[in-house]
Amino acid sequence: GGTDNHMLILDLRDRPLSGKAYAERLSRAGIIANFNMVPGDRRHPALTSGIRLGTPAVTSMGMRETEMVQIAAFIDSVCRQPDDQEVHASVRRDAADFCTAFDVPGIPDR
């Protein structure tokens, strides 16, 4: 286990939509991701087949491995149901509630 940096690329080539489309849907659900090329990507660079995720924002709040499992579940829900706006709204609410248990550095009493 372990990583060399705080970012990862999620390969979505086996999914029906582009990385850009998934990044947009995740954004609607309150999760920020960038669309990104993956090795051997056949999609146009403006669409891509992957998304890039980073952990600095959540680790600076005190989240660790256990919380990453929950964040992955939020991401998975949106990616498995990319056109279900009710799922996206639910994930947005659940993720916001989840984050209230953690402090945001530099923002007192949010």
- Whether 57 is covered by a domain: the verdict is yes
The total of structural domains in the chain comes to 1
What is the per-residue pLDDT for 109?
73
The answer to the question of residue 104 being in a domain is: no
DSSP three-state, residue 103: coil
**The pairing of beta strand 34-36 with beta strand 50-54:** antiparallel
2 lies in some domain: no
Give the Cα separation of 48 and 15 in Å (integer). 12
Alpha-carbon span 60 to 11, nearest angstrom? 26
AA identity, residue 56: P
- Whether pTM > 0.85 for this model: the answer is yes
The CATH number covering residue 56 comes to 3.90.1150.10
Residue pLDDT, tens place only, 56-101? 999 999 999 999 999 999 999 999 999 999 999 999 999 999 999 9
Strand order in the sheet with 34-36: 7-11, 50-54, 34-36
Give me the pLDDT at residue 39, please: 96
Show the domain range for 86. 7-99
pLDDT of residue 2: 64
pLDDT, tens digit, 9 for 90 and up, residues 38-64: 999 999 999 999 999 999 999 999 999
